[in-house]
Amino acid sequence: MSQLSVITSDNYYVTFIIWIAVGIAIQKRSSSDAIAQAVTYAIAVLIISCPCAIGLAVPMVIVIAGCVAAEKGVIFKTADTIEAAKNVTHVVFDKTGTLTIGCLNVRESNYIDGLMTDVKPILLGLVSGIKHSVSQAITKHLQSLDVSPATVLDIKSLPGKGVLGNWNGNEIRAGNAWWTQATLVSEVQ
């Protein structure tokens, strides 16, 4: 062990012990408050004397927290979300159906006259590799109909919009009606 690491660990422990004593004897804090204050100051000494260790430890904690949350069914988009979650006291959900178990099924499908056989393979080629629950439901439905996927290139999933790809030199989209610029079947007839 190098002399620097011994000095660092000694500084950490000395700071911790001294601030417990100061907190209890001089500041007249409870033992739990004194320990909390001592830990804060000891970590500050550790960060100053050994910034690389903290620089490596903090991202690891965020990764582990994300993994534990994912095992419980909670997905965090960013590390900032995990940090903000510590202050959450209430959670309110709206009624839009965004909370699901992720097992969607296609109950009904409508096609513009004459396009049903042409569209299914293209749609399956576009959505079959996408992990979104709606895409997976469409894939499962089309596969149950023994549809073979068409070759769709340059597939991209765009959060909040849908899926974009290239089929026979044409850009094709599947997703929300605004982004796909879709016209309802009832409007076409």
Active site residues: 94
**Distance between CA atoms of 38 and 19, rounded to whole angstroms?**
5
Instruction: Classify 160 in phi/psi space as left (phi over 0), alpha (psi -120 to 50) or beta.
Output: left
Token pair in block for residue 161? 């919009």
**Distance between CA atoms of 71 and 63, rounded to whole angstroms?**
12
**Distance between CA atoms of 185 and 189, rounded to whole angstroms?**
7
Asked whether 118 and 148 are in contact (CB, 8 A), the reply is: no
**Distance between CA atoms of 81 and 148, rounded to whole angstroms?**
41
How far from chain centre, in Å, is Cα 76?
4
**Distance between CA atoms of 82 and 76, rounded to whole angstroms?**
7
